[in-house]
């Protein structure tokens, strides 16, 4: 069963592009964005948009995490090329992509499935508050940031 809006994201562990272990546990707002391939301009645009908006996300108490299934060496190059200050989780096993039901059809000329470009906004209790499908790379980060601001405003109003 796919995880979507309203579902709890179970704690998970994954290897980061820097070979460190990442542990997801509830406790803060988290932006989890999946992207199919490090060597494409659309994926680079999306990642750079998140980097450009990282101070605003951090100021709202949110972490940004990218997820991709490319080899770690490709992810390291991608991180360096895009000058990213947030982790890219390595999903070579496709465990996260399967958990969120994001695996796309095999692309022409390739032998593996890749995740679709989709984004999840997870609240501090671990609940998915918003799920973006068919993401436009250049509009993803600003859209998620706007939604986070609205949800944080609601959170403040109900406190």
Residue numbers annotated as active site: 43
**CB-count burial class (<10 Å; 0-12, 13-18, 19+) for 147:** middle
The radius of gyration computed from the CA coordinates of the chain, to the nearest angstrom, equals: 15
Within a 10 A sphere around the Cβ of 110, how many other Cβ atoms? 9
CA distance 101 to 124: 22
């Amino acid at each position: 069963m796919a995880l979507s809006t309203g579902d709890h994201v179970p704690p998970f562990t994954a290897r980061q592009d820097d070979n460190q272990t990442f542990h997801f546990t509830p406790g803060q707002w988290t932006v989890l964005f999946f992207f199919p391939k490090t060597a494409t301009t659309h994926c680079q645009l999306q990642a750079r948009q998140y980097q450009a908006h990282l101070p605003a996300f951090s100021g709202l108490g949110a972490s940004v995490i990218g997820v991709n299934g490319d080899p770690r060496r490709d992810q390291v190059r991608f991180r360096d090329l895009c000058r990213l200050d947030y982790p890219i989780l390595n999903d070579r096993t496709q465990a996260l992509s399967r958990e969120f039901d994001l695996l796309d059809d095999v692309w022409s000329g390739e032998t593996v499935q890749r995740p679709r470009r989709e984004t999840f906004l997870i609240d501090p209790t671990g609940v998915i508050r918003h799920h973006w499908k068919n993401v436009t790379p250049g509009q993803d980060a600003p859209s998620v940031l706007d939604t986070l601001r609205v949800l944080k405003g609601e959170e403040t109003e109900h406190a």
